[in-house]
Structure formats: C-alpha cells, structure tokens
Structure 1
Amino acid sequence: MGDGPVTHLVRRMESHGIVVVMPPASDPSAATVDAFSTRAARPLVVLTANRADDVYRHRFTAAHELGHLVLHGDATGDSRQEKEADAFAAEFLTPQDSILPLLPKRMDLARLAELRQVWGVSIHSLVYRCRELGLISDATTSRTYQRLRALDGQPGFIPESVANYSGEQPSLLRQAFELACKEADLSVAALAHELAWTTKRVRELLDVQEQRPVLRLVQ
C-alpha cells in the first residue's frame, strides 16, 4: 500500500475479501448503531447512514471497524478495545512517519484543511493527531476545537457527502448478485424469499434499482 494516503478505503477493504454493507437511513438499526463488524462467517463491516453525510467520519469509522477485525475478531468491544481500534484507524489513515513532517508545528487550520483533502481524514482527527504526536498542548487542542465549532459550515469546513465518492461506497454485494443473476438465474424476488425478507429490503442492501416496465404511447 505504500506510506501515502489510503485512497478508496471501502473498495480496498472489499478487494481484500471484506464484505461492506451500508443499510439505508430508513433501516431501524441506523438509529442506534454507527457501525458493526464481525468475522463469524467471513469478514463483514456494516456502516450505517449516520456518518454518510461526512466522508471523513465515514472513512475513519470504516478504518475503526477494520481495526476491530484485525485486532479483536468477534470479541465484545469494551472501552479498551474501542481505544485500540481508534488508534489503529489513526495510524492506518495517517501513519506517523508519513504525516508528522507534514503537520504544522503551530496550529494552522488552513494547512489542516489542505491535508484533509489529501489524506481523507477530518480536521478534528488531524488536530487530535497533532496533540497525540506532541506538536500542540492540551490547551491549544481545546481552543482549536472551539474554533472549529465556530467555523462549522464555512467554506473549507463543510462536510462532504459519501455519495460524491464512489470509492467509499460498497459495491461487492451488488456485483456478486449481478454475477449470480447471470450464472444462476437469480432474482431479487428469489433471494428475498430465501432470506425471508421483503424485496424492498433486499434491493436497498444490494443497491439494486427496481426494474419498472417502460410504457410507450401508441397512436
């Protein structure tokens, strides 16, 4: 992978055999869970729509769940494991040896906004990284977070939707379904029946559009 920015994180996870799913916002689980991972049958990461309006939070959450898969398997996540997964995500997305020479020695939000675009992590995460690597004090960190709250919504500090980044949206399940349709004559209705789900839910999870008949006016 090299030591630079991790591009197309979700697609990269899928390319290594991890099934990633993004249920729609209407899914009941999205109200209580930000993300979930398991290695029960095969590595699976569920990313809910709670963070889909901010691609940087979305990527960190994906890296956090990857950390759980690598470090903890299916162990129940306690506070220690959550901190370990956060530390994994920070080092995975912004390796110390690579990011340290690029971080400002004095707090510079304009510089961090530039790094956000290149490294695909939030400014909040970069501020925390500055503190973690000893570049700024706790007091400076606190003042910076206060300033970021005041700048929220301003140009350069606006969240960016995951919908604008195809490499951060899962596609493996849909591709597998499309292949099964060709090779085994599978259909949404047949899969829904086998799973005892509604066809609507299956389409939402696979990100498959309903095929409606095309009406033509005949004069």
Structure 2
Amino acid sequence: MSDDSQRSLFAASSDRRRRQRGAGGQLSPLEVHEAFDPVRLAQARNLAGLTKRRLADELGVSPAAVSQYEMGTNRPRADLLPALAEILDVPLAFFLSGRPHARLDSSAAHFRSLRSTRAYQRAKAIALTEMVWELAYALEKRVQLPPVDLPGFTGGEVHPGLELPAEPVAAARALRSSWGLGKGPITHLIRRLEAQGIVVQTPHRDEDMWAVDAFSTSRLPRPVIVLTPNRTNDIYRHRFSAAHELGHLLLHGEAAAGDINQEREADTFAAEFLTPRDAIIAELPERVDFHRLAEVRSTWGVSIHSLLYRSRELGLLSDSSASRAYQRLHSLKGQPGFAPESPAGYLGELPALLSKAFSLACENGMTIGGLARELAWTVPQLRQMLGVDESRPTLELLAN
C-alpha cells in the first residue's frame, strides 16, 4: 500500500472515530464496540471479584452471553457497554484493544495458601498482578527502573549473574553473596528487592486479598511479589513473606505452582536468607529465653516464632521444649513487646519503586490524570496502585 493510500485510510478511520465520539471528545459506546477486547472484560470482571453469573445478572444477560463476550465469539451490544463499565468500575476505554497487556495464567503464580482461597479470589490476584506490570511498563517508558538482577530469571531484561544451586540453603547463601549482603542482618529488605528490579506491591485496601495470602510470579517481563494485607500487618511476618516469595522466584520460576514441597523449600530459603545458620546459631540462647529472643528479633528482623523454629531446626531446642515455648508465646500474644508492629514504622520495608518512579515522571510533565487515561484506569484505582493518597484536604463541617 502506498504512503498516500495509508494516509487516506488513516484519515478516514480518524474521521469515523471523531463522528462516533460524543460531546467533549468522549469515547462513544459504538467506538468501543468496534474495538472491543474480550481479554479486558475478563480482567475487569476478575478485578471486581465477580463471577460470570453475577455479572450476567447485574447486566441483564445470560451467563452464556458473558462467556461468549470473554471468549471473543460475540461482542456485547454497544448500548450495554456503559452499564458494563459502571458495574465493573472501569472507564469505558478500559475495554479497548491495543494497550500492552502481559497475560498471566493462574498456574504461573505461587500462592502460599490454595486451600483457603476461592477461585475468584485467585483470579482477582492474577488480574491485580497483571495491572501491576502494566503500571510498571507505563512508568518505565519515562523512567529507567533498576535492571533485574535475579539469577535464573528468564523474562525481560536480565542483569548478568551466577547460576544458583537448586537446594534452598545453598541458593540463599549464593544469593547473599551475589547481592553483597554478607552474613549479618538484612536491613531495608523490601527496598533491596526493589533495587534488584523486583516489583513489590501491597494492596492494603482489598478484603479479598486477605484470603489469598502472599504470592509471586517470574513469568512476566519483571518479577512481581504481592504482599497481601494479612502479611503486611506485622513487620516480621511481612519480611519473612517477602523472603519466602523471593525463594519461589529463584527456585521455582519455571515449575508449576501449587506443590507443597515448593512451599517448604521457600520457607527453608527464607530462613537461611534472613538468618544464616553460621551467623545466627551463636546468637540464639541454648534454652528458651524470651528476653534474649526479643533482642535477637530486633537485630535480625525475624519473629520470635521463627527464631524458636530456627532453634529447633538447628538442634538447640528439643521438640518438646519448642512445643512448650510456642504455647507460652501464644499466651503472650498481644501483650506489650509481643503485639504486631506495622512495617510503616520501619525504613525501607514498604514498597516505593512505583511511587518514586511516578514522582520522577511527574517532574518531567506526567500527571496522574494523564497516566490514568493512558492505562484506561480510574484515578482512584491508579492512586491505590501507586500508594498515593488523595492530595486535596478534606472539608469538615461541624454542626452545633
């Protein structure tokens, strides 16, 4: 096709789109109907936590019709699209094809707890992870993010590194060496993961994520770790979960997720990564001493429960002594010194990669509204993903 023909075709297409747009240049339902992406419908439905039947009931169509929409064998009528966008709480433009979208299969994500979660909750977690990647991709067009330095990572850009052993303890030691962490406590764990190009996300406000637990994937162009609310309400659990997911990324990148042995291996990796045997064994008491264990907890950033498990694992405590210690620890739960502590009080333990990249992009002309339009998200959705609070002050009216 000649250049003139291409220009004529583009001009005709642009004229048609302009005629289809409503007042103020807004997308018309007809325009979205013509460029409807069935994958985006499935993603929006999963993000909303709705089953196909529930969506069909709210939209006034049959579940079979929703299945056809998502498979691409049929498209929703143009007049249904505004209602569909309202039900799923997305802009009408969300359903347009053409935007970058890294599709992730549920078998490619390592969920810590499968039996306690429902299928729709896992689907929601997968959709959320896809959106995290889309946000990172959009920001990376403006800001150079850290290269991925994760040995064995096969997606996207890979920083040269060593091949790690497959055995969890050896892998943890090798990674510490590769990242120059020495054998002492690891401070600012989340910030260190982000510095190696790993995207970490904490969806605090989503109740469904409480049931899903922490999860991760290395099947996207950047590895992603999601630490759900029940893992982020305590600094020590938060850090161990992050190290656990790091173990999955390193040890099980190409393996099908869901194997209980993988969970055990990830726990073993996390224990050695956070508390290397050769360094921690000299600091653990030879008998249960909660005062001493609290001191070790503060130094190494791991829970007393984990230290008791580590003590038993290293042969410092018998099974019976450890069992009695767990019972005593449980009785102290919630007491001063034993209550959960928020990661917010610890520097470098909350994700900042995406929010800092956004701030840097804003210095070069980006706006939150512009980025939301590019992603076809609502501004509140984008703020939540970035962890950016509403900047406007709240008006409070007092009545006598």
Q: Does 1:50 align with 2:50?
A: no
Report what 2:327 is aligned to: 146
Q: Does 1:106 align with 2:287?
A: yes
Report what 1:211 is aligned to: 391
Change (3 A) 1:138 1:29: same
CA offset at residue 100 of structure 1?
A: 0.5
* Structure 2, unaligned runs of 5 or more: 1-180, 396-400
Q: Secondary structure at the match of 1:117?
A: helix
Report what 1:115 is aligned to: 296
Q: 1:134 aligns with which of 315, 319, 322?
A: 315
Q: In the aligned structure 2, how far is the partner of 1:204 from the partner of 1:74?
A: 31
Q: In the aligned structure 2, how far is the partner of 1:167 from the partner of 1:77?
A: 30
Q: Does 1:67 align with 2:235?
A: no
Report what 1:81 is aligned to: 262
Q: Contact 2:333/2:339 (CA < 8 Å) preserved in 1?
A: yes
Report what 1:13 is aligned to: 193
Q: Does 1:192 align with 2:372?
A: yes
Q: Secondary structure at the match of 2:200?
A: strand
Report what 2:210 is aligned to: 31
Q: 2:274 aligns with which of 62, 73, 93?
A: 93
Give the TM-score taking structure 1 as reference length.
0.91
Q: In the aligned structure 1, how far is the partner of 2:238 from the partner of 2:275?
A: 15
Report what 1:22 is aligned to: 202
Q: Secondary structure at the match of 2:215?
A: strand
Q: Contact 1:21/1:45 (CA < 8 Å) preserved in 2?
A: yes
Change (3 A) 1:91 1:110: same
Paired amino acid for 1:53? N
Q: In the aligned structure 2, how far is the partner of 1:214 from the partner of 1:31?
A: 29
- Larger mean CA deviation between 84-93 and 202-211 belongs to 202-211
Change (3 A) 1:204 1:160: same
Query: Which one has a bigger Cα radius of gyration?
Result: 2
Q: Does 1:161 align with 2:346?
A: no
CA offset at residue 74 of structure 1?
A: 5.0
Q: Secondary structure at the match of 2:185?
A: coil
Q: In the aligned structure 2, how far is the partner of 1:147 from the partner of 1:213?
A: 47
Deviations 1:28-82 (A, max 9, x none): 5413222111121111111112122210000000000111111111531310111
Deviations 1:175-218 (A, max 9, x none): 111122223x2222222223332211211121223232899xxx
Aligned length: 213
Paired amino acid for 1:15? A
CA offset at residue 129 of structure 1?
A: 0.1
Q: Secondary structure at the match of 1:101?
A: coil
CA-based RMSD: 1.7
Q: Contact 2:202/2:232 (CA < 8 Å) preserved in 1?
A: no
Q: Secondary structure at the match of 1:102?
A: coil
Q: Contact 1:3/1:98 (CA < 8 Å) preserved in 2?
A: yes
Give the TM-score taking structure 2 as reference length.
0.51
Q: In the aligned structure 1, how far is the partner of 2:183 from the partner of 2:226?
A: 27
Moved over 4 A (4+): none
Paired amino acid for 1:130? S
Paired amino acid for 1:115? V
Q: In the aligned structure 2, how far is the partner of 1:135 from the partner of 1:169?
A: 33
Deviations 1:62-118 (A, max 9, x none): 000111111111531310111000000000000000000111111111111110000
Change (3 A) 1:213 1:100: closer
Q: Contact 1:52/1:163 (CA < 8 Å) preserved in 2?
A: no
Q: In the aligned structure 2, how far is the partner of 1:59 from the partner of 1:49?
A: 13
